[in-house]
Amino acid sequence: MENTKINGIHINGIHKIYLNITNTLINFLYSALEAVGRSDMYYCWEPGVYYIPEYLGISKSEFWNTIDLKGYKFWVDMPELPLWKSLWGKLEALSEDIGAELYIVVNPTLNPIHVFGQYLKVADLFGRSFTHTVATTDKSVLAHPNAVYIDVSEAMVIKVKEAGGNALEYPTLMNSYKCNITEDMIDDLINNIRGMHEE
């Protein structure tokens, strides 16, 4: 489809950017390992391993029940990742440049306290006036030709693409990239989104 311009605006370009907060801005892997008493494994995590309970040899229910005991503070106390400010700053600059809206996606679980905790963490990072937050377990609802979804989960990226949307896998040790993100990788991500917008 031709990307028509009216007054310099790409009508068929990217109008919304959705960034999943987990393991892009905040370090869920570290906090989860700490919660289950295995923080020693953080610095020797096997590249490409995404599913934490399975790798630890515990059930999914045991894993989440242990995290549930931490309550909303599990998210509030979660450390930010080293390059989170750079990532967010570059996404903000891109959004302003192409006229797109930028959203944070938080992840509901069976315990609603986790959504509350994630909203508090978002407020801690961006202030209480920040309102561009979306909560959904079904990321396919974010699929749209004029939107792009960013997540560390390869499965979620595939799901959004299969629903007709655009999605990018965020580089991390836990997925197919098998390494922590660098500034150059962030720049590549930004350029990929710009390319989607202009094509």
What is the pLDDT, as a whole number, of residue 6?
42
Average pLDDT over every residue of 61-81? 96
- Look at residue 2 and tell me whether its pLDDT is greater than 60: no
Statement: residue 166 has pLDDT above 50: yes
The residues near 169 (Cβ < 8 Å, ≥ 6 apart) are: 151, 152, 153, 154, 157, 175, 176, 177
Average pLDDT of the residues in 107-121: 92
User: According to the model, what pLDDT value does residue 8 have?
Assistant: 46
- Average pLDDT of the residues in 19-46: 97
Task: Look at residue 122 and tell me whether its pLDDT is greater than 80.
Answer: yes
CB 3, CB 199: distance < 8 Å: yes
Q: How far apart are CA 143 and CA 159, in angstroms?
A: 9
Give residue 52's pLDDT band: very low, low, confident or very high (50, 70, 90).
very high
Cα separation, 22 vs 117, in Å, equals 12
Per-residue pLDDT at 199: 83
CATH of domain 5-198: 3.40.50.1000
Q: What pLDDT is attached to residue 7?
A: 43
State if pTM tops 0.85. Answer: yes
What pLDDT score was predicted for residue 148?
A: 98
- At 3 the pLDDT is 52
Provide the pLDDT for residue 42: 96
Q: Report the chain's C-alpha Rg in angstroms.
A: 17
**Residue 12 confidence (pLDDT) above 80:** no
